[in-house]
Structure 1
Amino acid sequence: MIKEDEYKERRDTLVSKMSKNSIAVIFSNSYKTRSNDTEYPYRQNSNFYYMTGFKEDNATLVLIKKNKNYKSILFVNKKDKVDELWNGKRLGAKEAKKRFLVDQVYTDDKFEEKYKEYISAKKSLYFDFDLTFSKADLLKKHSRNISNYKNIAPIIQKMRLVKSDSEIKLIKKAINITKDAHLRAMKFKKQDRFEYELLAEIEHSFKSQGAYSDAYTSIIAGGNNANTLHYIENNKPFKNNDLILIDAGCEYEHYASDITRTIPVSGKFTEEQKEVYNLVLDTQLKVLEAIKPGVKRTKLQKIAVKCLTESLVELGILKGDIKKLIKKEKYKPYYPHGIGHWMGIDVHDQCPYKDENGKEIVLAKGMVLTIEPGLYLDIDDKKVPQKYRGIGIRIEDDILLTDDGYENLSADIIKTVEDIESIN
């Protein structure tokens, strides 16, 4: 768990980046309607959570900076017996003041009144420009004297790039739970079953270990379904000689994991599947060899593109000079995505890839990213030799940058052909 003093340190850092005589307002998420009077499961706004660790809705963090000093105010749901009867207990202002290291706590119904007081003599207002119209309009309604509106989201997102030790522990916990789910999926008898049955095994493994939320909608893609990158129907039957691409990761205490493994329905790869699989795995291993502080993600992408283009030539799918094929992006139909992304509170962590000057941010100790090469050979693509059509493979691991290299946080989730076949 992350201690309250770490959240306070983050607020201190955020305020140090704000201009003098300014105010910052960060809202929690609201419940989202699913249909009629039913709602989606609640999930806190990531930037608000990063700054507070508070999971309730109808909450707002206000930071008021004069010169170097600042005041922190938290607004929370008021205690209401009827509301709590229907929707569960609230922390309330009194308990929130005991728990959070903020200067003042008020109930949410006092926000507008207090905000008008706070904003009156300020020059700059920091808030998330992606706010809903209602919240943004509320702020601007009382901010007529403000001369500068500044987007706070990119500032917080840049802070989220480098993970603390406590964040890394939570990510490792999420990955360890996900490891058990993928191993359970590998051992599960998949012949004559449906994708949703395998999904149920994975979901059971997540939730039985305290990971109540998925980090994203899981992909359980049998056969040619793997060639749809965001396949989430998960309702088709498995065919005995097909592969299954499983892209599934849990979220633990708001921190994500993101793992992909590709396994055979029967427990054994065909020769053609094995051939393609090992080319993708070799690509991932070559990319991993290049990871260390100071390296750019674009370099990792170039390694992946070169290796996978060479693989496509080896398989007889592409023909010609490797450099010319890469320049013309002939690999794109078979490898259309990037080599990976930042990961943390969000599975695709909302952190920048370029700095304020448009220069690419290089890898540094404490950053976490995914590495996920793949090859997607659609069943209807006549350019692909018949024996390879319908094969879709992705292999994805979660990587932590260290002092002089990296740690593969998901290394215990087996991925060689031999290991996968031996587990069945």
Structure 2
Amino acid sequence: MPTGWIRTNLAALGEYVNGFAFNERYWSKAGLPIVRIAQITGTQDVVDRFAGRLPSSYRLESGDLIFSWSGTLAVVRWQGGAAWLNQHLFKVIPARAVERLYLFHILQKSVAEMDKRAHGSTMKHIKRGELSEFAVVIPEGLAEQAALARILDTLDTTIRQTEAIIEKLKLVKQGLLHDLLTRGIDANGELRPPQSQAPHLYKHSPLGWIPVEWSAGPLSDSLDGRPKNGYSPQAAGRWTGSQMLGLGCLTPDGFRARQLKDAPVDDVLLRSALLSNGDFLISRANTRDLVGLVGIYRDVGTPCYYPDLMMRLSPSTKTSAAFLEVVLGSPSVRRQIQASASGTSSSMVKISSLTVMNLSVAIPDAQEQNRILDTLAAATAHINGETQFIETQRKIKLGLSDDLLTGRVRVTELLETLGA
């Protein structure tokens, strides 16, 4: 054990106060917000409030530590101001000899181990008494605890700032996509001015104003033949050397090689569904939000087939699979697909090949298509670069947390190494 450190457990590091059991008779539109798991994980804004009075142990202030011990295991620092804490959440009050931010990082690191030991297959939870079973070593000095926490906080700040940058870049890309598919890029490599500023550059179409050089019409004008359904035999249940795509391979971000199934070896009907690298696919059944997702198949390293719930489209010489992927994934075409999908089940609706062929699209010439694709690729590369950076920072933090929170690397040594 490092000099000046002691062995203890999570239970001894603080007091874990369970939230209040709010129910509908307490709910109000006025008063302080009631904080549930959805609010600390960011999946939902504040829904209910409570205007009455409760013991201060149930009250939150910015900076308080919250440990979600049931359902979703997580540790956060609350930054939403005064609020009330709901049940199934602990407010963690540090012991006198424990620095608050240091305790936050200790608990955060411990969540992964807790997740493995959590009870219940569908509703995970950690009992308060079990916290004493999670052993930790900590520095006795508050100054060393605080210095250690500051280093990890610096990485957290970098990660949060990069996450914010990525969200802004995604919004910028959405706006850019709208401009590219309505205004396009002229021969000089510039976005055309808006129709309101240069009406002579545009013509009216079923999709609204589009550049005069573009053609507007049904998607069938840009396809070589009708869409073709795949084939879905029963999976082999063992490795056969060939695979079939699952419906989840088509995502809002395009093709992803996931949910692959083992294909049978003796079904001759599979031949018609054999994929080639670069094939363009669209889902013909899913929920209304996901039906009609598109993607370009990329070789998975084995012979691979597409299922009956997908269609294969063959772009004509007027366009490319890459450009059609952008067009069919755009909000205006997605709305057409969702409006045309049929079915009474909320979990599964379908589109037909006729629906796909009748989708209204606007298509520029091949050169302008390439300019549009190049512009989008640059925006995507920027987002991917920031995403790669944030993944690197997370890995650095994971390794550094393990070193610092076990005392394997002393914070004083690290500061000396960094020249601090």
TM-score range, shorter chain: under 0.3
Larger Rg: 2
